[in-house]
């Protein structure tokens, strides 16, 4: 039986770790050709090895998404290698814990915006023309329509106290996705964002600072645990597939019911 992403070519940024890696592995299982992008090349290469495919199935690329030239090359190399581009998942991001707004270091603000907003914008900017050009390619017409999934966060919705720059950047990701949907859904490119709550990844374990705090996050959750990267990858896979052909411009909260349980 054909996989959900058969005949699709996908770029996944942040593919060297956490949610991005889980997404790459799931995409591969569903039949996509996967470009695993990360500034940590060793992590991206490890993800490719975990797929156990051939050179024709996936490739690892070392890219800093905040650098225009590198992003432009990422897209053109992907198209050269696999012939087209159908799916972009923007997962690469950084989380720097900061004090309250008046004490936020300007450098932390700039570093966060450079990756989480400018980098994501650049990936969309260069991927969209390649996706539009891919619509005339061989293969079934539906498999050549485009989908962009931008990973935002619950921090972009509620007043997360631990990082002003991160929270503002993620609110920007949600809005960028809506504007891009308004501009491109008429041309066959769907754009959605997802907002996970806590997910057990290297980023979260780093941001919670200690095993004790991590345990508290689990215990305070209505389901008694934070999410797994695989659970987030399931939603990203569905949104990237033709099963979601009428879904665009939406931000999906995926937090195991935590937001609904806030009194
Ligand atoms: N883990 C959570 O609890 C959680 C919750 C909500 C949202 N998110 C979001 O999900 C996404 C994935 O997070 P994760 O938890 O898997 O994080 P992670 O730290 O495990 O992975 C992020 C990856 O992005 C890469 N990266 C960072 N900056 C980059 C850059 N400039 N260029 C290229 N690659 C870069 C890192 O090297 C890393 O491999 C992020 O957008 C994150 O903000 C995570």
**Lowest-confidence range among 53-62, 167-176, 218-227?**
53-62
Give me the CATH topology for the region 9-254: Rossmann fold (3.40.50)
Is 146 in contact with 134 (CB distance < 8 Å)?
yes
Q: Using most ligand atoms within 8 A of CB, pick from 13, 14, 97, 206 the residue to mutate for ligand 1.
A: 14
Nearest to 188 by CA among 243, 122, 248: 248
pLDDT digits (tens, 9 = 90+) for 148-167: 999 999 999 998 888 999 99
How far is Cα 263 from Cα 260, in angstroms, rounded to an integer? 8
Count the Cβ atoms, other than its own, within 10 Å of residue 88: 29
**Would you call 254 exposed, middle or buried from its count of C-beta atoms within 10 A (0-12, 13-18, 19+)?**
middle
CA of 20 to the centre of ligand 1 (A): 7
Of the chain, the percentage scoring pLDDT greater than 90 comes to 83
Nearest to 152 by CA among 194, 93, 199, 97: 194
How far is Cα 215 from Cα 159, in angstroms, rounded to an integer? 22
Calculate the average pLDDT of the chain.
94
pLDDT digits (tens, 9 = 90+) for 68-123: 999 999 999 999 999 999 999 999 999 999 999 999 999 999 999 999 999 999 99
| Per-domain residue ranges of the chain | 9-254
Sign of CA dihedral 222, 226, 228, 233: positive
Question: Which is more confident, 12 or 142?
Answer: 12
Q: Which of 126, 162, 166, 246 is catalytic?
A: 166
Tell whether the model's pLDDT for residue 1 goes beyond 60.
no
**pTM of this structure:** 0.96
Of the chain, the percentage scoring pLDDT greater than 70 comes to 96
């Amino acid at each position: 039986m054909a996989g959900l992403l058969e005949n699709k070519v996908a770029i996944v940024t942040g593919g060297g770790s956490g949610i991005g890696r889980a997404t790459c592995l799931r995409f591969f299982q569903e039949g996509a050709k996967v470009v695993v992008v990360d500034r940590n090349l060793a992590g991206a290469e490890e993800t490719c090895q975990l797929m156990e495919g051939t050179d024709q199935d996936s490739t690892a690329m070392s890219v800093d998404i905040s650098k225009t030239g590198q992003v432009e090359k990422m897209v053109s190399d992907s198209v050269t290698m696999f012939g087209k581009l159908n799916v972009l998942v923007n997962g690469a991001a950084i989380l720097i814990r900061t004090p309250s707004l008046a004490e936020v270091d300007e450098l932390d603000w700039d570093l966060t915006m450079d990756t989480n907003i400018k980098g994501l914008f650049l990936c969309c900017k260069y991927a969209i023309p390649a996706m539009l050009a891919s619509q005339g390619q061989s293969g079934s017409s539906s498999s050549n329509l485009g989908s962009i999934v931008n990973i935002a966060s619950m921090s972009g919705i509620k007043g997360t106290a631990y990082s002003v720059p991160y929270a503002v950047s993620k609110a920007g990701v949600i809005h960028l996705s809506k504007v891009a949907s308004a501009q491109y859904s008429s041309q066959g490119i769907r754009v959605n964002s997802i907002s996970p709550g806590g997910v057990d990844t290297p980023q979260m374990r780093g941001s919670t600072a200690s095993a004790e705090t991590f345990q508290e996050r689990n215990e305070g959750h209505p389901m008694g645990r934070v999410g797994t990267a695989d659970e987030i990858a399931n939603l990203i896979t569905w949104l990237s597939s033709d099963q979601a052909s009428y879904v665009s411009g939406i931000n999906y909260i995926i937090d195991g019911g935590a937001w609904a349980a806030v009194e």
